[in-house]
Structure 1
Amino acid sequence: LQEMDHLQKKLDKDRDLIEFVGVREQYRNMKQLLELKRKRRMEKREEMEEDLRRYGAILNEIQSFSHIEPKKNTGKFIANYGAVETVNLASFVYVEQLQSDIENVTEEIMGLQGDI
């Protein structure tokens, strides 16, 4: 009977120890999870700050080309940007048409050379 009590106490002690280690491990896992979340938040913040710096640099570059400060003259900046984009689109369409014409003329020349 004494031996059974001793074994029961040992089992209880082992169970308590296992429970303690389990709780402690949970605490460690929670701590690691919180650290991981903090690290991800910091990485996301750094990415956003880098994007902000990049956008600021682009805005400064646009400002240096247009000589218009977008923050103060937004309407003028947008109108100027729209006009430039319209010219760029027209130029692109013109170059595309020229390229198509060149391809057609090249095909005609190759056909005529074949006939000769």
Structure 2
Amino acid sequence: MTQNDDLGRRGERLAADYLAGLGYRIIDRNWRCPSGEIDLVAVDGDELVIVEVKTRSSTAFGDPLEGVTDAKLTRLCVLAGAWRRAHPGVRTGGSRIDLVGIVAPRTRPAAIDHLRAVA
């Protein structure tokens, strides 16, 4: 496991805790299929929320959310459909994609930026 893997896992834990604090119910983590991976799947009210988490230790190379490209958003939309098909028993009104950017330096508390309904 690399240092980046550790940072990514820490970021996903921080994001899940943050979202749970907002009332989201986390129902899946690191779900994989041939098309890719979803970091977190949650329910917020009656909406299914696909969550992409980007974590960096600093902003020296830019904001974490700058790493989410249009191609990544398109892939997340495809993954959302694949997740729904794989979990037909989960009934929600609609779905959306949220982004969570985390800057997690070793010596200071993490900063969390949450963008709702980007797609």
* TM-score tier (shorter): under 0.3
Q: TM-score, normalised by structure 1?
A: 0.20
| Structure with the greater alpha carbon radius of gyration | 1
Q: Whose relative contact order is higher, 1 or 2, with alpha carbons under 8 Å and at least 6 apart?
A: 2
Higher strand proportion = 2
Higher helix proportion = 1
